Each structure stands twice: as structure tokens, then as C-alpha cells.
Amino acid sequence: MDLALDQATKWLELFGDEIEKNKAYLSDLDTPIGDADHGFNMARGMEAVETSLAQKAPADLAGLFKQTAMALITKVGGASGPLYGTAFLEMSKQAAQTSELNSLLAAALAGIKKRGGAAAGDKTMVDVWEAVLPELAQGTLTDAKIDEAVEATKPLIAKKGRASYLGERSKGHIDPGAMSSGYLFKALLKAVA
């Protein structure tokens, strides 16, 4: 399906709400296997996205994603800033050619993997993206499937990011970036419904 500008705008709005609502929870997830800042980092970023979009309404999908990327890149910091920032920057580039949702998201995932070097199974946000994209393409994605993908990071041993310093001890905890990506896809489902 093609993603329309108003759907994408709605998507970002819903994602921002979800992050704001769950910022403490995300930082809590980041406490045992990280440095307790993921929720605050993302909330700072999505607030900047909101401000940027309120100041200047983007003309098209490419513009919307570019503004989003720049706000995230300049405000989030940490590991998730460049990762989500790259995802939206790649979607912006892709949107110049097509507004087909699956190809936009495929470009975003390729960007995240290139930037962070993580693969599926490394206990990062990449796990959720890898699980969700094929389901979305087949039209079979549901909230429950997103939850499943997030939950699936729990038994894994982290191989990338701060959590990897813990080795075996990273088992038994949900990855915070996987959770925030879960919110991203739930917001998307709602926005395009």
C-alpha cells in the first residue's frame, strides 16, 4: 500500500504519544541491561519532532521524514538517536521515489543495520523490525504479533550496544529499543487502519 502524508503524520503523532506515555517504563527496561536513559532519550527526540512539525508543515512524505530524522539526530543522542534518525533519513530518501510502505520500511531497516551493524538475534531493535516487516508485507501484522516480537528479545544474549557488556547476564530482560520499535509499529497499524 502507499503511505499518504496525513497517515504518516498521524503515525508520528501516535508514536510520540506512546513514547511520552511510556518513557519511564522504557528507561526502566534500560536499567538492568543499560544506562536507564532510553525513554528519556526518545521522549526528548519525539518532543523535538513535534515542535519541528508544528513550526513548519512538510509539503510531502520525503519532507516529513527528513524533518523527523533531523530532530531525532540532533536531540536524542545515545545509540537510539543515530539509529532512528538513520531509519527516517533512509525513508526520506526512498520517499523521493516511491511512497509504497513496505519499500520505505525496508530502506529504513537497511539503514539501521548498516549504521549499527546488528543482525537479527543480537537483542536489539533490529529483532523487532526483522520480525514485523514480512508480516506487514503479507497483511498479517497484528498488535499481538508485535508484542510477540518484542517479548522474543527477552531470552536472548545481547551482542550489540551497552547490554552486550553483560554477556549472559543480559538474558531475561526485554530490550528497551525493541520495545520502543514495538510502539512504532503499533502506531503505524493504527495510523493506516
Partner 1 sequence: MKKIINDPSQVVAEMVDGLVRSYPDIVELIPETEAVVRADSDTMEGKVGLISGGGSGHEPAHAGFVGKGMLSAAVCGQVFTSPTPDQIYEAIKAADHGKGVFMVVKNYSGDVMNFDMAKDLAEMDDIRVKSIVVDDDIAVENSLYTQGRRGVAGTILMHKILGAAADQGASLDEIAALAQAVLPHIKTIGVALNAATVPEVGKPGFELKEDEIEYGVGIHSEPGYRTEKIKPSNELCQELLGKLDSELHLSEDKSYAVLVNGMGATPLMEQYIFSHDLLNQLEEKGIKPDFMRVGNYMTSIDMAGLSLTILELADEAWLDYLRYPVKTIAWNN
Ligand X SMILES: Nc1ncnc2c1ncn2[C@@H]1O[C@H](COP(=O)(O)OP(=O)(O)OP(=O)(O)O)[C@@H](O)[C@H]1O
- Give the binding site for ligand X (CB under 6 A): 30, 34-35, 37-38, 41, 78-80, 83, 116-118, 124-126, 160-162, 175-178
Task: Give yes or no for a contact between 84 and 44, defined as CB atoms under 8 angstroms apart.
Answer: no
Task: Give yes or no for a contact between 105 and 143, defined as CB atoms under 8 angstroms apart.
Answer: no
Three cell numbers, residue 13: 503523532
Q: What's the rounded Cα separation, in Å, for the pair 191 and 146?
A: 15
Q: Which is nearer to Mg ion, 37 or 122 (CB)?
A: 37
* Window of 4-12, 33-41, 93-101, 148-156 that interacts with Mg ion by CB under 5 A: 33-41
Task: Give yes or no for a contact between 27 and 40, defined as CB atoms under 8 angstroms apart.
Answer: yes
State the residue number with the nearest CB to Mg ion: 34
Member of 116, 126, 141, 182 binding partner 1 (CB under 8 A): 116
Report, in Å, the least distance between residue 131 CB and ligand X. Answer: 14
| Residues 6 or more apart whose Cβ sits within 8 Å of residue 50 | 13, 16
Restricting to residues 133-172, which ones interact with partner 1 according to CB under 8 A?
A: 158-162, 164-167, 169
State the residue number with the nearest CB to ligand X: 177
Task: Give yes or no for a contact between 157 and 171, defined as CB atoms under 8 angstroms apart.
Answer: yes
Percent of the chain that is helix, strand, coil (3-state, to 5): 75, 0, 25
Q: Which is nearer to partner 1, 36 or 133 (CB)?
A: 36
Report, in Å, the least distance between residue 139 CB and partner 1. Answer: 33
Three cell numbers, residue 133: 516487516
Report, in Å, the least distance between residue 67 CB and ligand X. Answer: 20
Phi, psi of 2 (to 5 degrees): -85, 140
Give contact residues for Mg ion (rule: CB under 5 A). Answer: 30, 34-35, 37-38
Give contact residues for partner 1 (rule: CB under 8 A). Answer: 35-37, 40-41, 73-79, 81-83, 85-86, 115-116, 158-162, 164-167, 169
